[in-house]
Amino acid sequence: MPSEANSRLLAGFLDYLKIEKGLAPLTVSAYTTDIGQFASFLEKRKRTLSNARRNDVRDFIQQLFSNQVDGRSVGRKLSALRHLYRYLLLDKVIEHDPTLNIDTPKQWKVLPKSLARDEIESMLRSLHPASNRKEAEVLAARDRAMLEVFYAGALRVSEIIGIKLEDLKLDLGYVLVRGKGDKERIVPLGRSAQDALTSYMSHSRVALAAGKTSPLLFFARGGRKLTRQRVWQMVRQVSVAAGRNASPHMLRHSCATHMVENGADLRTVQTILGHADIGTTQVYTHLALDRLKNVYQKHHPRAKAR
């Protein structure tokens, strides 16, 4: 358990995240866990969050790596500490930030797993009704529309199951999405996604509702809200049938990856993904650099000169 001094600091910081920053409960919970770990580490050294030194932060990170914590998780914990000490500086609780000049773990820059474009196509082609029954056809149409929207807009699971019918502007080619911290963003929908949604809306949504009403765009039988687990299960089943073992988040990363490969700038990708910080989107930077090199090699008159 954190000491009384650490508990007070942490409580103030969490209130700041929820009230001032409007972060989602899951994000606040992750910050609580990560900072609580560091507080416990400090207490063994007879120190508190307010008098931690740079060496304490470095040793904490080293201990995490020694305990086989992966680089991405270490990066997340370091990010939580940076936010905490930025808050404490602004609140004039401390005079020096112990997280300054500490490098983010290199593993943080590893590109998230994504699917190739032909694998995405294979997934969509493999999505067929499980039987000849009308209900199976209705579910297959819903799932196809969901997969198209996942890939078109790089959506998170929580975002896609939370889309309301009124959020869909099919005639204008976009959907309004509520992301982390209940922040809204407009996500464009390509022609394939629009066609799949038109088919779903025209024939399948009413049949799936079975006489019930729902404000949601996508739902389970009888208008019941879809669970995150069910969506994960659906994506997993379709991907396995296509020869991969994918997750909804892989579809999100695939969208971002393919956009950057095709020349999209990172600011545009940041907007579509709903990243608050461009630094989060920069995980895709090396794709942009690869494309830059290829274009240079192809078009510069002296790129291949001997």
Q: CA–CA distance from 249 to each of 8, 24, 191, 252 (Å)? A: 36, 18, 22, 5
Give the separation between CA 79 and CA 61, rounded to whole angstroms.
12
Active site residue 156: yes
Angle of CA points 111, 145, 271, to nearest 5°: 45
Phi, psi torsion values for 168, nearest 5 degrees: -85, 120
Q: Residue 54: count other Cβ atoms within 10 Å of its Cβ.
A: 14
Which one of the listed residues 77, 83, 249, 258 is annotated catalytic? 249
E strand or H helix at 73: helix 71-90
N-to-C CA span, the chain: 67
By three-state DSSP, how is residue 170 classified?
Answer: coil
Given a contact cutoff of 8 angstroms between Cβ atoms, the answer to whether 123 and 239 are in contact is yes
Residue written as token pair 């120190």? 47
Active site residue 300: no
Residue written as token pair 């008159």? 301
Which one of the listed residues 109, 180, 185, 221 is annotated catalytic? 180
Which one of the listed residues 83, 142, 252, 253 is annotated catalytic? 252
Give the separation between CA 184 and CA 18, rounded to whole angstroms.
17
Query: CA quadruple 214, 216, 218, 219: dihedral positive or negative?
Result: negative
Which one of the listed residues 77, 142, 144, 156 is annotated catalytic? 156
Active site residue 180: yes
Given a contact cutoff of 8 angstroms between Cβ atoms, the answer to whether 148 and 192 are in contact is yes
Residue written as token pair 């799936």? 208
Active site residue 252: yes
By three-state DSSP, how is residue 210 classified?
Answer: coil
Which one of the listed residues 83, 142, 253, 275 is annotated catalytic? 275
E strand or H helix at 178: strand 174-178
Hey, which residues are catalytic here?
156, 180, 249, 252, 275, 284
